[in-house]
Structure 1
């Protein structure tokens, strides 16, 4: 038996996809039948989430870690609508993802079928239109293959993101010939754009004539990190990273000045000011609120900017720039890197560490609070301690709220020398900023890379929304450490209300022991209420054991997270 569901899976196998995340149901059953056949022959297998939003977030995490397509699926009706928040998250951050939803039988459209979501009912295809790069109903079997290829192509394009195929149950289960073109899919997945020679000559002129330069590394620079670092080290330029690119760079590099933007460092802001940077070269960043500290005009956004990106949407935000170049950063920078690779003047990338163990050239809002003190656990010290305690190559997902505020500012990345340059060690779902994002994404990351532990830093508010997804990690025996920052509140809301002068309302949560909940689920767990208890934990043993573990950590709720740039935007204050 070979049906349209099998055809989809064969194409996904050729892209290197190993698993599909979803929740089964009646209308999607033929696709799960194909997944069952695939599993029996050692192919793509199904991973069952507890909620369809979690499945979409898992697929996003999987795509981030592997660099290939994340895939999620859901049945008709609420299964499809439950996916939307997770799909919107991937859309906001430009993550390639294939979303497959079911429809009831074509012949029953408009007849009031259970969970009908056709064009004559609750139209889910229309709902996905604004959060996907390609979105279509497959109404005939002959459409499936060309539409699948179109979807793959759009997902991996220079404006990447999720794509959606809505497939009726009768179309999905139709038998098709078991013959697939043996050619490769490169034509549908290779979208590298070569920059124009005129632009490259202009870039070369700017680089040759300028000594004081600060480079801003964005997430879109991942494929060009080796070339970019060769240029930075040869010219002794300072560099900073955007929050999304935090995990791409070594924070102990002697030329690194910190994270610029949301929850960033003052040292990064200083490195971008006109007295330190005649030119600012931003590579692979969309120049949104998060990466520009609320569109601060004294830093990146000025006529000193040289903006390089493969994504044309990024470049629409740099109309004030001195030079804008569309193209692959790797292709742009390769000629420079080849010239500079063996430059004797190149700055060695020897770790630059202060006596307190923190990067020497990065400023922190509360550097002294990064040290462990007896008693109540300071979140600054907790995050610093966790970053130091993780094995080399650990992947980290930071959740929306105070979790990513503390993590962006205080989680320091030390990259192993044997790590591929494009591998990202820290992930944030910060474009759409979905609460619970890191919980689902961390499961997807762990499923994609079982050779390294994964840490999820989340808050108690997010955990109450999506914490059940840890049982997916249990079922899959994934090496995932879930850190719940427990302050019995929606911390970012509480602090935001206080800083803005708003009413203090609707932010309190009950005092819950999340370790006991995890224990009831069969998950190793610990309640940590003091620094002494935290230091007594054998974290290395936890990291080396199979399966998930949860730490319910009571933090000092009165510590103010670094959210200054966000408050300026919310209150309308000028930078």
Structure 2
């Protein structure tokens, strides 16, 4: 006989899922029994994280790389509460995830069972209520299939995000007939919405009449990115991206003006000002603080805005816009392309070639430091150099802190010609901005695609929180290069305190040789203190072979990363 855990795995197999990320424990043991049976027959198998938050980050990385739903699980009690930060991160960035937490047996609710998290104890269902798209207790075995399909449908909808099933021990252990897992499971996962005819015609009228247009590509513009570039080329429109949309456009494209928003570029802000844009068309972005440069009314948040998204939650923030369109960007801009005489079915990505170290049309802070290889390693030079030498298909992750500030501003994307439009190789977890996000997420991405290199930039503070997940990469023999930016401090906080006039307090961390820690774990590692030492490393060779590698990069802690509007928001000057 099979159990309900087998039923869950059978449904996930129909969706193409290959792994479940988690940490085993008593109350979740029946699900791990099902995973063991699955692994023996070549099906879905477990990957054991070192902490449940790491498991959630790994599931997020798997979802980002594959487009499938990421799956994580935990036992009851602290296992479930440990998942919360990773689940909240996925919720903030709209990542489809199935979260399975255990409960003690139903008949023991309220009796003080070990690690009890029922409605009469530490109520985990309530904890997950505000960071999930769907959240339910499976209180009877007959509910499981229906609630599982509902969870998947919500997770992969237009307002995508985590869905949570809390499953008691006895419900998970419930026996089911053998034939119950042999049939297809049909969750509702095809949610694309066509824009209304009125919206299409109004958009065409506005766009055709405008002499100067700037496109703002957010993460929700991914599938339409090639089409949008082709339209921009035919009409000579400027293009910028939000921080989350960075990576959808080659940094050296002649119409690209850089990142607008958090850690962005002045050239992008200029491209959105009224003198350069009769219309601003924002596509697939939430119009939050980080994508609007602190809600700047002179650029994106104005009556020159046309806001397009298939996520209605995004559109609720564009009350000042000239036109708001609910619909899949690909569908809308196919109509725009056809009206402008562009064959949207025969697109070919332009080959972008430049032998320059920096894009000519993007204005960087401190551009001289991008090529300065003297003295201590500068964040500007590190990002510029690494973006030049990493293969174009390298998956790049920037962790919370100085890493994502340096990366958003100074990493130059070389977008391959054979990349699928919806694919983005530059990843940041900016919605919730959890420290250590990139460490676990890089493991999930590397597991999902073992043939491509993954490079994770993280800080010493983040590594001290979550660096133990590197041992999962070792155990799985994953091709991950982890660069730890080591300035013996919580660098982003330290610079933020200074720039905002706050007290200089509580930001120092011990001076640690992370290469020695990695070596003790059995991981290949190096320590570099100058750009010349970094250049001497065979980065290309490291990225070409399996197994993780850590580079402890001692950076110049006095270099101030590009905070942009963030300090103005923190000090209340916006």
TM-score range, shorter chain: over 0.9
Per-residue deviation at 1:162? 0.3
CA distance in 1, matches of 2:514, 2:307: 45
CA distance in 2, matches of 1:415, 1:135: 38
Q: How does 1:364-443 map onto structure 2 within 5 Å? A: 364-443=364-443
CA distance in 2, matches of 1:220, 1:342: 22
Residue of structure 1 equivalent to 2:204: 204
SS of 2:550 mapped into structure 1: strand
Residue of structure 1 equivalent to 2:105: 105
CA distance in 1, matches of 2:197, 2:501: 53
CA distance in 2, matches of 1:521, 1:283: 44
Q: Could you tell me whether the CA contact under 8 Å between 2:295 and 2:301 is conserved in 1?
A: yes
CA distance in 1, matches of 2:149, 2:350: 43
CA distance in 2, matches of 1:529, 1:538: 16
Residue of structure 2 equivalent to 1:484: 484
Provide Cα deviations, 1:279-333, integer angstroms capped at 9, x if missing partner.
Answer: 0000000000000011111110000000000000100100000000001111111
Per-residue deviation at 1:449? 1.2
Per-residue deviation at 1:50? 0.1
Per-residue deviation at 1:337? 3.0
CA distance in 1, matches of 2:92, 2:338: 35
Per-residue deviation at 1:181? 7.1
SS of 1:243 mapped into structure 2: coil
CA distance in 2, matches of 1:319, 1:192: 23
**TM-score, structure 1 length as denominator?**
0.97
Residue of structure 2 equivalent to 1:76: 76
Deviates more, 1:562-571 or 1:222-231: 222-231
Per-residue deviation at 1:374? 2.6
Q: Could you tell me whether the CA contact under 8 Å between 1:401 and 1:459 is conserved in 2?
A: yes
Per-residue deviation at 1:338? 4.2
Q: Could you tell me whether the CA contact under 8 Å between 2:14 and 2:184 is conserved in 1?
A: no
- Deviating above 6 A after TM superposition, structure 1's stretches of 4 or more consecutive aligned residues are none
Q: Could you tell me whether the CA contact under 8 Å between 2:481 and 2:551 is conserved in 1?
A: yes
Per-residue deviation at 1:350? 4.8
Unpaired segments ≥5 residues, structure 2: none
CA distance in 1, matches of 2:234, 2:359: 21
Provide Cα deviations, 1:210-247, integer angstroms capped at 9, x if missing partner.
Answer: 12000000000111112222211111100000000112
Residue of structure 1 equivalent to 2:170: 170
Deviates more, 1:333-342 or 1:396-405: 333-342
Per-residue deviation at 1:450? 1.1
Residue of structure 2 equivalent to 1:2: 2
CA distance in 1, matches of 2:9, 2:273: 51
CA distance in 1, matches of 2:449, 2:253: 26
Provide Cα deviations, 1:443-463, integer angstroms capped at 9, x if missing partner.
Answer: 111111112100110000000
* Matching of residue 57 in structure 1 with residue 51 in structure 2: no
Residue of structure 2 equivalent to 1:137: 137
Deviates more, 1:465-474 or 1:372-381: 372-381
Q: How does 1:84-123 map onto structure 2 within 5 Å? A: 84-123=84-123
Q: Could you tell me whether the CA contact under 8 Å between 1:236 and 1:347 is conserved in 2?
A: no
Residue of structure 2 equivalent to 1:13: 13
Residue of structure 2 equivalent to 1:465: 465
Q: Could you tell me whether the CA contact under 8 Å between 1:195 and 1:331 is conserved in 2?
A: yes
SS of 1:37 mapped into structure 2: helix
Deviates more, 1:275-284 or 1:373-382: 373-382
Provide Cα deviations, 1:392-427, integer angstroms capped at 9, x if missing partner.
Answer: 210111100111000000001001100111111111
Per-residue deviation at 1:275? 0.2
CA distance in 2, matches of 1:180, 1:84: 30
SS of 2:129 mapped into structure 1: helix
Per-residue deviation at 1:342? 5.2
Residue of structure 1 equivalent to 2:565: 565
Q: Could you tell me whether the CA contact under 8 Å between 1:65 and 1:445 is conserved in 2?
A: yes
Per-residue deviation at 1:348? 8.6
* Matching of residue 351 in structure 1 with residue 388 in structure 2: no
Per-residue deviation at 1:351? 2.9
Provide Cα deviations, 1:433-485, integer angstroms capped at 9, x if missing partner.
Answer: 10000001111111111121001100000000000000001101110000100
CA distance in 2, matches of 1:201, 1:177: 54
CA distance in 2, matches of 1:493, 1:62: 30
Per-residue deviation at 1:498? 0.6
**TM-score, structure 2 length as denominator?**
0.97
CA distance in 1, matches of 2:311, 2:438: 25
CA distance in 2, matches of 1:210, 1:42: 57
* Matching of residue 283 in structure 1 with residue 259 in structure 2: no
Q: Could you tell me whether the CA contact under 8 Å between 1:5 and 1:34 is conserved in 2?
A: yes
Q: How does 1:491-506 map onto structure 2 within 5 Å? A: 491-506=491-506
Root-mean-square deviation (CA, aligned residues, Å) is 1.5
Q: How does 1:223-238 map onto structure 2 within 5 Å? A: 223-238=223-238
Provide Cα deviations, 1:484-505, integer angstroms capped at 9, x if missing partner.
Answer: 0000000011101110111110
CA distance in 2, matches of 1:444, 1:42: 19
SS of 2:365 mapped into structure 1: coil
Per-residue deviation at 1:81? 0.4
CA distance in 1, matches of 2:351, 2:532: 33
Residue of structure 2 equivalent to 1:155: 155
Q: Could you tell me whether the CA contact under 8 Å between 2:357 and 2:388 is conserved in 1?
A: no
Q: Could you tell me whether the CA contact under 8 Å between 1:352 and 1:360 is conserved in 2?
A: no
